[in-house]
């Protein structure tokens, strides 16, 4: 089975580029040039050196001893929380800003939900001195004031979107509309492994630095490059895609995708797209999405703003449907408890998204000598208000 994108931009039946005609030239240009650029020496040098000196890579692979003892196995945390701006998102925005520059684009647009991708995009635009416009649902603008202020301080223009439910899906629609109106000079930095081909593959390649480092670090620490499990949370799926990439063909490695169940998979308030989703087209890609019988998108819900997207990257739809990845879910409550457990056992406050990956540790049974890697996608600073409101602290 092939888990990488094919010539036409598909992963099995999922993927492709379902876009309005006005965007053909942009998407075509990107498709024709992205692989050549990524593999060129100039691009690679710039990317590698910024990952190292600006983002702070390699991120450590940390043996969490007290957490390991709790679960009776060997748990390693891939510390994406230690990157500049606090999550894995910077890996992708650094890659894409270099791409934009090599394509000669001077104006950057992005969509954002909770604001993490918006901040990571505004950051690299400041770094390169490029104009930056971030679309954000009006509801998210009011809920995520600190990130809105950060983006503004970084010099970005934040445009509140008042259509639909005023959240991520609506912000994405508006970013696509902007792109259609100003296609010549504008580069759209998408924040996850979603959107039309070649975005899912391009973003996966930028994030694949995670599993590349993991191989070397595991070899140093355990004597072998392959773990028994890799566990990651899946919203759109970029941190998981990066953590899986160099192990996709290695069937001895169990890939576990943790989705947000919200109040429960069957509750009607959930973001468990891989479990509940049916094939459909969203934001330029054929994938699994939560929709009703008439094809109306159902609003996702999770306590974690980074996981409540109604679709999922086509790679993950394929990994789940082909059986390569196992999909487990964690409710709001399970994630909150897992966040507190990590904090008390290791002195690390995780992002709420990452807490969903930690929460599924409860649902697996490990052997004593097995090696388990959890991708700790981000840090919990942004979630302190939620933790204070829900945890007895
Ligand atoms: C945005 C975000 C996610 C979800 O995005 P993916 O594309 O699924 O990785 C997960 N964790 C953190 C910390 C995030 O900021």
Q: Is the pLDDT of residue 320 over 90?
A: yes
Distance in angstroms (rounded) separating the CA atoms of residues 304 and 351: 9
In the annotation, is 32 catalytic?
no
Helix ranges, 131-278 (H): 138-143, 145-153, 168-181, 199-207, 209-222, 238-244, 273-276
Cβ of 200 below 6 Å from ligand 1: no
Cβ of 68 below 6 Å from ligand 1: no
* % of the chain at pLDDT higher than 90: 94
Q: Is the pLDDT of residue 310 over 90?
A: no
Give me the half-sphere count of Cα atoms (radius 13 Å) on the Cβ side of residue 38. Answer: 21
Which atom, in ligand 1's list, is nearest to the CA of 239?
9
pLDDT tens digits for 70-104? Answer: 999 999 999 999 999 999 999 999 999 999 999 99
Cβ of 306 below 6 Å from ligand 1: yes
Cβ of 351 below 6 Å from ligand 1: yes
Cβ of 217 below 6 Å from ligand 1: no
pLDDT of residue 309: 83
- State phi, psi for 285 to the nearest 5 degrees: -135, 145
pLDDT of residue 278: 97
Residue nearest to atom 1 of ligand 1 (CA): 306
Rounded to 10 deg, the angle between the 41-50 and 24-39 helix axes is: 80
Write out the two tokens for 362: 């409860």
238 Cα–ligand 1 center, Å: 7
Cβ of 237 below 6 Å from ligand 1: yes
Q: Is the pLDDT of residue 308 over 90?
A: no
Cβ of 383 below 6 Å from ligand 1: no
232 Cα–ligand 1 center, Å: 10
Residue of 81, 85, 116, 144 with the most ligand 1 atoms within 8 Å of its CB, for mutation: 116
pLDDT of residue 393: 82
21 Cα–ligand 1 center, Å: 30
Which positions ≥6 away from 282 have C-beta within 8 Å?
169, 194, 289, 297, 310, 311
Q: Do 12-50+89-203 and 56-87+208-391 show the same overall fold?
A: yes
Distance in angstroms (rounded) separating the CA atoms of residues 182 and 66: 53
Which positions ≥6 away from 165 have C-beta within 8 Å?
137, 139, 299
pLDDT of residue 143: 84
> What HEC string does 190-223 produce?
CCCCCCCCCHHHHHHHHHCHHHHHHHHHHHHHHC
pLDDT tens digits for 346-375? Answer: 999 999 999 999 999 999 999 999 999 999
In the annotation, is 89 catalytic?
yes
SS3 content of the chain, % helix, strand, coil (to 5): 50, 20, 30
CATH of 12-50+89-203, one of 3.30.300.30, 3.30.450.20, 3.40.50.1100, 3.90.1170.50: 3.40.50.1100
Q: Is the pLDDT of residue 392 over 90?
A: no
pLDDT of residue 65: 98
- Tell me which residue has tokens 């994405």: 172
Residues found in the chain: 393
pLDDT tens digits for 239-256? Answer: 999 999 999 999 999 999
Cis ω before 58 (30° cut-off from 0): yes
Cβ of 234 below 6 Å from ligand 1: yes
Residue of 238, 313, 374 with the most ligand 1 atoms within 8 Å of its CB, for mutation: 238
117 Cα–ligand 1 center, Å: 9
Q: Which fold has domain 56-87+208-391?
A: Rossmann fold (3.40.50)
Confidence band (pLDDT; 50, 70, 90) for 316?
very high
Q: Is the pLDDT of residue 69 over 90?
A: yes
pLDDT tens digits for 251-298? Answer: 999 999 999 999 999 999 999 999 999 999 999 999 999 999 999 999
Which positions ≥6 away from 336 have C-beta within 8 Å?
303, 352, 355, 387, 390, 391
Domain assignments of the chain as residue spans, ordered by start: 12-50+89-203, 56-87+208-391
Average pLDDT, the chain: 96
Q: State the maximum Cα–Cα separation within the chain, in Å, rounded to a whole number.
A: 57
Q: What is the DSSP string of 305-343?
A: GGG--SS--HHHHHHHHTTSEEEEEEEHHHHHHHHHHHH
């Amino acid at each position: 089975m092939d888990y990488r994108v094919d010539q036409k931009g598909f992963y099995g039946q999922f993927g492709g580029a379902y876009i309005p005609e006005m965007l053909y030239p942009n998407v075509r240009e990107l498709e024709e040039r992205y692989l050549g650029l990524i593999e060129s020496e100039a691009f690679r040098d710039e990317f590698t050196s910024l990952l190292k000196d600006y983002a702070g890579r390699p991120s450590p692979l940390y043996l969490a001893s007290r957490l390991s003892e709790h679960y009776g196995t060997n748990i390693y945390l891939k510390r994406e929380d230690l990157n500049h701006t606090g999550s894995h998102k910077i890996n992708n925005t650094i890659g894409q800003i270099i791409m934009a520059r090599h394509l000669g684009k001077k104006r950057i647009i992005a969509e954002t939900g909770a604001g993490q991708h918006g901040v990571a995009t505004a950051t690299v635009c400041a770094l390169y001195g490029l104009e930056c416009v971030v679309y954000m649902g009006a509801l998210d603008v009011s809920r995520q004031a600190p990130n809105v202020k950060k983006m503004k301080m970084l010099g970005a223009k934040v445009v509140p979107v008042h259509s639909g439910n005023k959240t991520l899906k609506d912000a994405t629609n508006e970013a696509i509309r902007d792109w259609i109106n100003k296609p010549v000079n504008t580069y759209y930095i998408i924040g996850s492994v979603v959107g039309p081909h070649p975005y899912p593959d391009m973003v996966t390649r930028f994030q694949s630095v995670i599993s590349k480092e993991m191989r070397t670090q595991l070899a140093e620490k355990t004597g072998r490059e392959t773990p028994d499990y890799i566990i990651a949370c899946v919203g759109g799926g970029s941190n998981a895609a990066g953590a899986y990439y160099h192990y996709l063909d290695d069937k001895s490695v169990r890939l576990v995708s943790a989705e947000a169940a919200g109040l429960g998979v069957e509750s009607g308030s959930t973001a468990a797209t891989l479990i509940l989703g049916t094939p459909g087209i969203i934001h330029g890609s054929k994938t699994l999405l939560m929709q009703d019988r008439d094809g109306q998108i159902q609003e996702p819900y999770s306590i974690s703003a980074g996981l409540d997207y109604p679709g999922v990257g086509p790679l993950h739809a394929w990994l789940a449907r082909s059986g390569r990845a196992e999909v487990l879910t964690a409710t709001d409550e399970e994630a909150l408890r897992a966040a507190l457990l990590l904090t008390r056992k290791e002195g690390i406050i995780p992002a709420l998204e990452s807490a969903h990956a930690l929460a599924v540790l409860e649902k697996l049974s490990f052997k004593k000598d097995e090696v388990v890697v959890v991708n700790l996608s981000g840090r919990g600073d942004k979630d302190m208000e939620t933790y204070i409101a829900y945890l007895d602290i």
